[in-house]
Amino acid sequence: MTDERPEYRVWALSGMPEVQQGDDLAKLIAAAEPGLADGDVLLVTSKIVSKAEGRIVEAADREAAIDAETVRVVARRGALRIVENRQGLVMAAAGVDASNTPAGTVLLLPEDPDASARAIRAGLREILGVQVGVVVTDTFGRPWRAGLTDVAIGAAGVRVLDDLRGGTDAYGNPLSATVVATADELAAAGDLVKGKAQGRPVAVLRGLPHVVAGKEDDDAEDAETGEDAAGARALVRASRDDMFRLGTSEAIREAVTQRRTVRAFTDEPVDPGAVRRAVAAAVTAPAPHHTTPWRFVLLESEESRVRLLDAMRDAWIADLRRDGRSEESVAKRVRRGDVLRHAPYLAVPCLVMDGSHHYGDARRDGAEREMFVVAMGAGVQNFLVALAGERLGSAWVSSTMFCRDVVRETLGLPAGWDPMGAVAIGHPAEHPRPRPERDAGGFVEVR
């Protein structure tokens, strides 16, 4: 039995000329390294790809170029911006580079790095008759880690992810979450020999043919191009799976601005822990006299929700009939409250006046209560925003304020608890409709 020791070799190409717009990178690489072999992996710095594809633009203001390439600001600190760019990559400054390019210009990332990798691979196959993998690389910083490293932003003919789930480790333990970012590991290996300032933009890695797509992968390849269609795009984590989608201040701002009233919910159960975390956020709101005027009654059982809503409906119908409403009008108005009945979870925020001051003067006592009501509103807003942060939809409905005695009696609440509406909670059944932008200037008066 032979003891095979896994190993590979990686080297940077010398003799690569300065790349100009319109250059054929496959021809330049083939001329610099005519001895490429099947199973090699080419690690190509994105800068030369961008130059060859004419992604140099005049820009007296780099910030304007970053704006044009930005889809979403992830985090901002001073002048530094971490953004999602038009290629779906989350990185500093959208990948806009002012180095290694003439003054007054900036270098943008390739428009489609996977397509760029496919073109280089196809060109080398035609020129040298070899089946190689190609990884287009760029430099990234990383959350929680100091320093930079190269990662794959484009790939062709390379298995970018190695999914080990379903296998076992050396001790026979099942692997349930292990997916290796092979293309990123290859990119980092190439960066060790290319360097950042040595003018060696291409490296070759040899000795790992198993990471290169071969003939057996033809059925999984794109029918038109004959190439692996997924490319490095498969490395970009989907937003629904991204637990760190935004920086702290941006996450708070997005939760506030994107919070919507949701009136249709799925049947998916609501995690009670998520609601309690939202309550914890609610009770950080400001309040007068160091008081804690918030109470949240959580209706987690269907029986409690139905009992409350039936009692409220009966009281509402009686009020409407006393007002002389027609039966048609009564039925129509009652239907408006169905958002609470269809929600899988309800919360009833209540105001308590414990710690309030009594002046014996109607004006000052009225202002005292208003202070507590404002604090209650701040708590409810915190609650709604925190629910949005938990990816839960919500709708605040004022109806419990019109039948407080009924709510207190049905839920067995103390006499001093004033219900301040109800919050329907659940998983949204559909994406909210776009909301017109509101100009903050229209709500501001400066003195």
- List the CATH number of the domain containing 132: 3.30.1330.100
Count of domains for the chain: 2
Tell me whether residue 379 is in a domain: yes
Name the phi and psi angles at 150, rounded to 5: -85, 140
Give just the sign of the alpha carbon dihedral 262, 395, 300, 332. Answer: negative
Question: How many residues comprise the chain?
Answer: 447
Tokens of 92: 């500093």
pLDDT at residue number 130: 95
Element (H, E) at 404: helix 404-411
Residues 33 and 156 grouped into a single domain = yes
Tell me whether residue 1 is in a domain: no
Of 207, 154, 175, 174, nearest in space to 43 by CA = 154
Residues 228 and 295 grouped into a single domain = no
pLDDT at residue number 248: 67
Residues 155 and 194 grouped into a single domain = yes
Residues 226 and 161 grouped into a single domain = yes
Q: What CA–CA distance (Å, rounded) separates 174 from 151?
A: 28
Residues 203 and 141 grouped into a single domain = yes
Tell me whether residue 61 is in a domain: no
Residues 196 and 233 grouped into a single domain = yes
- Residues sharing a CB contact under 8 Å with residue 2, sequence separation 6 or more, in sequence order: none
Residues 314 and 179 grouped into a single domain = no
Residues 231 and 363 grouped into a single domain = no
- C-beta separation of 422 from 400 below 8 A: yes
Residue 192 Cα distances to 9, 12, 32, 189, 222, angstroms: 12, 9, 19, 6, 32
**Residue 332: CATH number of its domain:** 3.40.109.10
Last residue of a domain, one of 241, 274, 290: 241
Estimate to the nearest angstrom the gap between the alpha carbon of 307 and the chain centroid.
39
Last residue of a domain, one of 241, 271, 294: 241
Residues 401 and 297 grouped into a single domain = yes
Q: Which domain holds residue 46?
A: 9-55+110-241
Of 142, 47, 161, nearest in space to 95 by CA = 47
Residues 405 and 272 grouped into a single domain = yes
pLDDT at residue number 215: 47
Tell me whether residue 316 is in a domain: yes
- C-beta separation of 105 from 27 below 8 A: no
Tell me whether residue 103 is in a domain: no
Estimate to the nearest angstrom the gap between the alpha carbon of 226 and the chain centroid.
32
Residues 159 and 44 grouped into a single domain = yes
Q: What CA–CA distance (Å, rounded) separates 125 from 51?
A: 22
Tell me whether residue 253 is in a domain: no
The residues with which 43 forms a beta bridge, in sequence order, are 135, 203
Tell me whether residue 25 is in a domain: yes
Tell me whether residue 336 is in a domain: yes
Residues 143 and 271 grouped into a single domain = no
Last residue of a domain, one of 241, 276, 300: 241
pLDDT tens for the chain, residues 1 to 447: 455 678 999 999 998 999 999 999 999 999 999 999 999 999 999 999 999 999 998 877 788 888 899 988 888 877 788 899 998 899 888 889 887 777 788 999 999 999 999 999 999 999 999 999 999 999 998 888 899 999 999 999 999 988 776 676 666 777 666 788 999 999 999 999 997 657 799 999 999 998 998 644 444 454 444 444 579 888 888 877 777 777 766 667 777 776 788 889 999 999 999 999 999 999 999 999 999 999 999 999 999 999 999 999 898 888 888 888 888 888 877 776 677 888 999 999 999 999 999 998 999 999 999 999 999 999 999 999 999 888 899 999 998 999 999 999 999 999 999 999 999 999 999 887 777 888 888 999 999
Tokens of 331: 């039925």
